[in-house]
Amino acid sequence: MSENEVFVGVLMDDCWLTVEQVAAACVVEPAWLIGHIEAGLFPEAESVAGVWRFSAEALVRARRMRQIERDFDAVPELAALVADVLEEVDSLRARLRGAGLV
């Protein structure tokens, strides 16, 4: 490798996904995702110039919600509530690991 070569990469945290990309990753129609956005179940979704975009965390949330709805025949609001609790548990576990307690 020469001194002039540069490695270029993108962190997932800096990457934004479209409605179509998130819907494909969740194996749902884009209308499912739009309906959940309109119901306020994706507070982290952003609309930029009329185009919805999603972070990696929003993708994880969407996949969890879809799985909960499918596996437990849950209504979207219940799936969102369970996703909120799971996100909080993940956050607390990360804090415990960071403090060296786990």
Entry pTM: 0.80
For 18-55, the pLDDT digits (tens) are 999 999 999 999 999 999 999 999 988 999 999 999 99
Domain boundaries of the chain, sorted by first residue: 14-98
CATH class for the domain made up of 14-98: mainly alpha
pLDDT tens-digit series, residues 68-80: 999 999 999 999 9
Residues 6 or more apart whose Cβ sits within 8 Å of residue 22 = 33, 54, 58, 59, 62
Taking phi first (over 0 means left), then psi (-120 to 50 degrees means alpha), and beta for anything else, what does residue 19 get? alpha
